[in-house]
A and B are shown apart, each in its own frame.
Chain A
Amino acid sequence: MIRIARQLHRNLRAEGETAYPDECCGIMLGTVDAEGTRSVTELHPMLNARESGERYHRFRIEADDILRAERLATGNGLEIIGFYHSHPDNPAVPSDYDREHALPWYAYVIVAVEQGRARRVRCWQLAEDRSRFLRERMHTLA
């Protein structure tokens, strides 16, 4: 399960709407407790590094940005909890392309944006055998 503050959840949705019809993307930093529950405490919006003509259905966050985020997190006692992106005019369900480029443990949050309006927000985690994504419960905190 991951926990996220309601305001950050709103921010996620707003980013998806702002980026529409392109995909937004970003990095989630946070903490992990002794039971393994992850809490998102910071969202770091990232530039979608894909070519402009591809951003409507693809996103990429460059390794340089991940390295910077990893160092920022470590310096603040946090970890990279996962990543978020939007699916314009498509459901908040991971694609095969998402799966091929994923790692286990990370939380992958997808915001479905229909005609510019954010709809469902879902969280997923890659199975350790890489065969599929598993739905992960997302608890929104007041």
Chain B
Amino acid sequence: MPVTLLIPSALRSFTDRQATVRVEANTVGEALAALTDTYPDIRRHLYDDGNALRPFVNLYLGETNIKNTGGTATPLKDGDEVALVPSIAGGRGICGPAPDSRRVMPAPPAAEGTGG
């Protein structure tokens, strides 16, 4: 049955800048398969090397994030819209101490100070 996938702006370069892609599918998984069959270059950004949906890729059916409920097995009905929505994460990494640990660090011994 016809359903519509809503494509985030970051991935529209793989769908000819189309914000929506209509596919024939009975489940969310089938819809994603139809999407990646039509636009294979999008696949590496949705799935990791182990063929699992990347952790930051979420799937919304209406207002509900179904990623951790029905996931790709979620059945679809005629006219459903599934939005692909990234959650965004990042940060400077693990280098350097936490600010709190800096606050409780003892002052350096005089020999290691600036002297003077």
A contacts, CB < 8 Å to B = 21, 23, 25, 27, 50, 53, 56-64, 66-67, 70, 73-74, 79-81, 83, 85, 87-90, 94-98, 101-106, 108, 128-130
Contact = CB atoms under 8 A, between A and B. Distances in A.
B4 interface: no
B91 A63 contact: no
A94 B85 CA distance: 22
Contacts of A94: 90
Interface residues of B, number: 32
B10 interface: yes
A85 B45 contact: no
Contacts of B95: 90
A88 B93 CA distance: 11
Interface in B70-116: 83, 85-96, 98-100
Interface string B27-51: 0000000000000010011000000
Contact of A63 (B12, B65, B92): B65
Given A56-B98, A64-B65, A97 B90 contact: yes
B12 to A, nearest CB: 8
Contacts of B1: none
B10 A74 contact: no
A63 B93 contact: no
Contacts of B92: 23, 57, 87-88, 90, 95
